[in-house]
Amino acid sequence: MTPDRSSTGEQNGVGLMRIVVADKSGIDRLNELGVDLAEYVKPVDNGIEVHAILSPEESQSLRDMGFDVQDAISDQSDYTENVSERAASVRALQALAASTDNLTVLRSEWFTSLDNQLFLNVEVKSSAGADSTTVLTVSWDSGAGTAIGSGGTSTLSRFTDAGQYMYHRFSNPLAIDAAPTKATITSNKGGSVTVDVSKWLGSPRKATGDHPYVSDFVDHYMDPTEVTARFTSLAAEFPKLAQIVDLPYKTNGYRRQAQAQFGTVAASTVYVSSKAYGSEGGNDISMSLVNAGANAPLTVGVSGKAVTVNVATNGSGAVTSTAAQVVAAVNGNADAAKLLTASLYRGNAGTGVVAAAGVTKLTDNLKAPASVSRDPFQMKVLRIGKHRDGSKVGVFLYCQEHAREWVTPLVCVESAERLLRNYAQDPNTRKIVDDLDIFILPVVNPDGAHYSMYDYNMQRKNMTNYCPASSADPGNRNAWGVDINRNFSVGSAFDGYNGGGTSCTGETYSGPSELSEPEARNEVWLVDNFPNIKLSMNTHSYGGYFMWPPGAYKTAGREVLPRVDQGTEAFFWTSSDYILSRVQEYRGTAIWPGRTGPVTDVLYSAAGNSADEHWYNRGIIGWDFEVGADVYNPTTKRFTAVGFQPSFAEGHEEAMEFANGNIGILEVARAYATDKIQPKTAVKIVGQEPGGTTFTFTTSEPANVYYTLDGSRPTFDSPKLALAGMREGVQNITVNSTTTVNWFSVDIAGNVESNYKPDGNGKNYNKQTVTVQK
């Protein structure tokens, strides 16, 4: 389908629409048509509900093909409200940044509780507190006459209510060793104050935790320029724990050729595109089509950056130049050809006569403020860890491969802030940062994300235009770009897998070749250059999913990429239970079992996605979050989808709960990194009848089991316990005669049961005879 969307960036009725198809073949058909599908599917009574970005014309075209296109989930009004709210937040932050940070101490006291345990309570209001990057730190003495800091140092948590900043405080009173007399509060914005610490009434209070944990570091949707500056600032503030890794491939940039279109009827329409990007002079070019009077020839003149086309006329002064003739004349003029290229409209032959037109300035139509650079973007990774030398297990957290998913970079920002801000006072955070090497890429698709925030909110892809002249007119400007999460080299559209497109205007366009895009190559560079990366998380939105490889199949026969082995699948499921529990802790959101599992099982085929790239090429255990779970309405007893860009109040909650999930992933990674416990296994008889006995293996933890049935010594080349089928658990094995089973197991961390050496000569593998009744 050719998108019919505004050349000005206006949405013109484009919305997030529901479509109900009978089964997954309907989804495959929509992908083949190049429909801009959200990563969302839900079983309904009469089939499967999917969501798509559609203009009114596209909606009607699908209805004409027999598709059940239903009502809109969100439209331009939702986008306008989000943009307005964000602009107000940014203006407020700019005003605060220009002022001096003043601190007002509301409370400063110590008290006893829980068998005379001492606690400290401090509450301070900052004049810059509405800025979520404002961090207050407290240092206190250990009694009269002692030095500030001798009692300890900790970070306060920013407290907000109903979206408004109230003050900074400890989330829970802080356990201390000695009663202090004075405390100094300092701000990263420059403020500082020292106050007396008094004993509070003597009334004991019960503390809910000894170690305050600060969170909530995002208070508006952020563009890639803001996010990258935030990460750079964090690295500078915490040089002992973090550093910036500049990725080697700069993006194409938030930039476009400047264009102008002359005519509204295809046969008589001409459009021109500047040779230079708009930001590099293309926006200074103009062109006009002038009727110079009767019997005039077709000529082209150039003065500076103004191109004048004197169209041909007949004896009565009527224009006779066709669109094709004008295009040939402009492109044939050496001076004009240095400035621009003329083209016919969408492959039309251009036999229609053009109309005269006054001076028309070319424009790239980009609306971002000057603070957003038009140059190629330097993507940056924040590397967090006490030991950043490759000796620790690496974890790669990355967000916003798809531009319109505004919540996802907030998840990465919140995760990074929590790790660094809590390191000094929270033992759990300290263990994570000490024992792991964490790489966080907050925005994989910065150009597209800028375009989504300032020009066309439903932009999914990057901004690189590979379209030929037949598809590169201004009316297609919202349809150009490459889907970064379809540009990788495993299970790609180029290998015949479903879910990636070949049309340059299709929303899942895979690009001209695998890894053609710098954004995708940067991911590959990172995991290749830091081979200690063993686990990863790719955060998308929306729908509330938790997924892993395989992520693609070939439509014919539904040929799925090889499934992960049984031990890894068990690890995915066991980890899911823990990680999703962490997500649920924040506000009770439960990711459904039906939306948990391999991508191909619970969503659809996504040819050339990054998780498959990292797993199949490098063995990186990778998950995919789809933040933004459906919200349940107890009155209607129905779930409602939240969309890509919910109100910030909802987006904030999603960021908080899935940052919880990221911390959970890091806790799982640390357990993996420090695991020295060997697995234990046993044979389990599951069926027995004359002439055959069926058995399987049970394991104490996720582990792969290697076995033999011929009496030989088991090795890594022996048969491996497999999965029974999609979401069915482990296979059962049937023997038809009494058999000696020899086996051993290896967990995901590489611990071998009983210290057995599979490639040695030892005999300390497991043995059991499975009897068969005659």
Could you report the per-residue pLDDT of 501-534, keeping only the tens digit for each?
Answer: 999 999 999 999 999 999 999 999 999 999 999 9
Q: Is the pLDDT of residue 770 over 60?
A: yes
Matching residue, tokens 């006329």: 313
pLDDT, position 162: 55
Q: Is the pLDDT of residue 584 over 90?
A: no
Q: Kindly indicate the confidence band of residue 10, based on its pLDDT and cuts at 50, 70 and 90.
A: low
CB count within 10 Å of CB 536 equals 26
pLDDT, position 171: 77
259 or 639: which carries more pLDDT confidence?
A: 259
Region class of 689: left (phi > 0), else alpha (psi between -120 and 50), else beta: beta
Q: Is the pLDDT of residue 475 over 90?
A: yes
Interhelix angle 648-674/76-97, nearest 10 degrees:
80
CA distance 63 to 219: 40
The mean per-residue pLDDT over the stretch 450-478 comes to: 97
Q: Kindly indicate the confidence band of residue 204, based on its pLDDT and cuts at 50, 70 and 90.
A: very low
Q: Are strands 533-543 and 621-629 parallel, antiparallel or unpaired?
A: parallel
The mean per-residue pLDDT over the stretch 365-379 comes to: 97
For the stretch 220-260, pLDDT in tens is: 999 999 999 999 999 999 999 999 999 999 999 999 999 99
> What's the count of helices (H) and strands (E) in the chain, helices before strands?
14, 39
CA distance 252 to 447: 8
The mean per-residue pLDDT over the stretch 88-97 comes to: 70
For the stretch 384-442, pLDDT in tens is: 999 999 999 999 999 999 999 999 999 999 999 999 999 999 999 999 999 999 999 99
- The three-point CA angle 183-191-89 to 5° equals 125
Q: Is the pLDDT of residue 205 over 50?
A: no
Average pLDDT along the chain:
91
The mean per-residue pLDDT over the stretch 311-331 comes to: 97
Q: Kindly indicate the confidence band of residue 87, based on its pLDDT and cuts at 50, 70 and 90.
A: confident
Q: Is the pLDDT of residue 670 over 80?
A: yes
Instruction: Dihedral sign for Cα 11, 16, 20, 25, please.
Output: positive
Q: Kindly indicate the confidence band of residue 98, based on its pLDDT and cuts at 50, 70 and 90.
A: low
| pTM, 2 dp | 0.86
For the stretch 678-736, pLDDT in tens is: 999 999 999 999 999 999 999 999 999 999 999 999 999 999 999 988 888 899 999 99
| Contact call for residues 586 and 536 (beta carbons, < 8 A) | no
Q: Residue 521: helix, strand or coil by DSSP?
A: helix
pLDDT, position 114: 56
AA letter at 730: V
Residue (of 621, 612, 625, 623) closest to 488 by Cα position: 612
- The three-point CA angle 439-441-446 to 5° equals 165
CA distance 99 to 309: 54
Give the lowest-confidence range in 38-47, 95-104, 232-241, 270-279: 95-104
Read off the tokens for 128: 């810059």
Q: Is the pLDDT of residue 173 over 80?
A: no
Q: Is the pLDDT of residue 662 over 90?
A: yes
557 or 698: which carries more pLDDT confidence?
A: 698
Q: Kindly indicate the confidence band of residue 3, based on its pLDDT and cuts at 50, 70 and 90.
A: very low
Give the lowest-confidence range in 36-50, 271-285, 700-714: 36-50
How large is the greatest C-alpha to C-alpha distance in the chain, in angstroms? 108
